[in-house]
């Protein structure tokens, strides 16, 4: 009985860690199932349409029941903004991502997502949404992390290197149904993936102003999935006119789009929100390299993908860059909280002092005079 109580207490204490590991397994399965569906002939535009349809259906009931009271009214202008963000963010990003999967591996697709924090940081600095703070350690760590992460992406793209297990790896790859990509295909897929990350980073930047106008996060996510489904379906109907491309049966195609739509977009959304509430956004980010390791292992086992030294070096750079950036971001957040606490404490002290003490305080006379005017 005591042993059971001990395990229950330990589980409750480490629940955020357990949830984040589960999330990384979910993301790993997403990369593997998506790659399997694309490799078995499913068109990227069709995949995105079905995925967003399943995501919309999965989120609709929760958005309706949980945010029916606190959601602000939707105007036509706001709907147009949400539609535009869905077009340039979710829709374009996912179509580029799955198109790039035609020419790269699932491991690469998972690894390259680690460049998103660096891209968001560069965009935020260019748009003056975030300060560079190059004279402080946290600013240097963010800049250095961004440079290292982008360098890792370039190594992943242009340098393959020798195989980790040349003899067995080549035989397995030769005897299996896994595709061997040419250098041109790999570079093309990498550029498409980087384009997907760029548009996704732009979409993340655009979330801040739209959330101020429409703070109901779950309904906003559902609306964006719905618009993305409509736009992707229209785009897919233009590029994939063969009706057979849209037929899915009880196979890997149906399972993949249902999994990505319901489990990844639906379940993972709730899990991540819960973890962010408990531990903060930085905590959720530090687990992302785990998905890269899991994807690399399962890709080698299931798809017989041969791992190369170039991929290992690139992965190390990506992870190092990510952790450097997150460390800098965490330190910056701590400094911001400390400064705010000191400012509030200083203001509280002034409020508690007698009026004559406040008037004699340097700089206080100007404030009182201005208020008097």
Residue 58, phi then psi, degrees to nearest 5: -75, -35
Q: Which residues contact 6 (CB under 8 A, 6 or more apart)?
A: none
Q: Which range in 126-140, 232-246, 335-349 is most confidently predicted, on average pLDDT?
A: 232-246
What is the C-alpha separation between 123 and 198, in angstroms, rounded? 9
**Nearest 10 degrees: CA dihedral of 190, 193, 197, 198?**
70
pLDDT recorded at residue 254: 92
**Cβ atoms within 10 Å of 358's Cβ, excluding its own:** 16
CB 301 within 8 A of CB 107: no
Max CA pair span of the chain: 88
Q: Which residues contact 235 (CB under 8 A, 6 or more apart)?
A: 45, 91, 95
- Within 13 Å and on the Cβ side, how many CA atoms surround 200? 18
pLDDT tier for residue 193 given thresholds of 50, 70 and 90: very high
pTM equals 0.75
What is the C-alpha separation between 339 and 343, in angstroms, rounded? 6
**Of 156 and 263, the one with more pLDDT:** 263
CB 95 within 8 A of CB 45: yes
Give the CA distances from residue 101 to residues 97, 136, 327, in Å, rounded to whole numbers and listed in that order: 6, 39, 31
**Nearest 10 degrees: CA dihedral of 20, 107, 35, 85?**
60
What is the C-alpha separation between 370 and 276, in angstroms, rounded? 42
Q: Which two tokens stand for residue 262?
A: 């319901």
pLDDT recorded at residue 218: 83
pLDDT recorded at residue 229: 92
Q: Which of 47-51, 129-133, 138-142, 369-373 has the lowest mean pLDDT?
A: 369-373
Beta strands in 200-344 (DSSP E): none
- Within 13 Å and on the Cβ side, how many CA atoms surround 271? 21
**Nearest 10 degrees: CA dihedral of 342, 143, 190, 204?**
20
CB 80 within 8 A of CB 267: no
Q: Is the pLDDT of residue 98 over 80?
A: yes
Residue 118: closest CA among 1, 288, 268: 288
What is the C-alpha separation between 7 and 258, in angstroms, rounded? 34
Helix (H, G, I), strand (E, B) or coil at 1: coil
pLDDT recorded at residue 54: 93
């Amino acid at each position: 009985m005591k042993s059971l109580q001990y395990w229950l207490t330990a589980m409750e204490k480490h629940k955020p860690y357990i949830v984040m590991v589960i999330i990384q397994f979910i993301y790993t399965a997403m990369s593997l199932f998506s790659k399997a569906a694309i490799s078995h002939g499913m068109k990227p535009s069709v995949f995105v349409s079905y995925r967003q349809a399943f995501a919309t259906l999965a989120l609709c009931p929760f958005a309706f029941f949980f945010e029916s009271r606190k959601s602000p009214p939707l105007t036509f202008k706001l709907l147009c903004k949400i539609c535009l963000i869905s077009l340039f963010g979710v829709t374009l990003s996912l179509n580029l991502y799955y198109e790039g999967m035609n020419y790269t591996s699932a491991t690469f697709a998972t690894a390259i997502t680690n460049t998103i924090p660096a891209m968001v940081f560069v965009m935020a600095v260019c748009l003056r949404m975030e300060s560079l703070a190059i004279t402080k350690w946290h600013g240097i760590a963010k800049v250095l992390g961004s440079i290292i992460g982008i360098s890792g992406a370039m190594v992943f793209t242009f340098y393959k290197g020798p195989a980790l297990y040349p003899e067995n790896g080549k035989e397995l790859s030769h005897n299996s149904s896994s595709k061997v990509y040419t250098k041109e295909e790999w570079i093309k897929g990498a550029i498409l993936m980087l384009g997907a990350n760029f548009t996704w980073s732009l979409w993340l930047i655009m979330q801040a102003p739209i959330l101020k106008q429409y703070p109901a996060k779950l309904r906003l996510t559902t609306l964006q999935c719905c618009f993305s489904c409509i736009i992707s379906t229209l785009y897919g109907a233009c590029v994939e006119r063969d009706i057979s491309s849209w037929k899915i049966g009880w196979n890997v195609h149906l399972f993949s789009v249902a999994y990505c739509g319901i489990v990844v977009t639906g379940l993972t959304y709730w899990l991540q929100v819960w973890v962010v509430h408990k531990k903060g956004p930085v905590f959720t980010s530090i687990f992302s390299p785990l998905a890269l390791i899991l994807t690399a292992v399962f890709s080698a086992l299931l798809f017989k993908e041969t791992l190369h030294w170039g991929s290992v070096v690139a992965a190390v750079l990506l992870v190092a860059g990510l952790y450097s950036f997150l460390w800098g971001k965490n330190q910056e957040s701590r400094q911001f909280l400390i400064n705010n606490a000191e400012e509030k404490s200083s203001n509280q002290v002034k409020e508690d002092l007698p009026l004559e003490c406040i008037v004699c305080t340097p700089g206080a006379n100007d404030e009182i005079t201005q208020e008097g005017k």
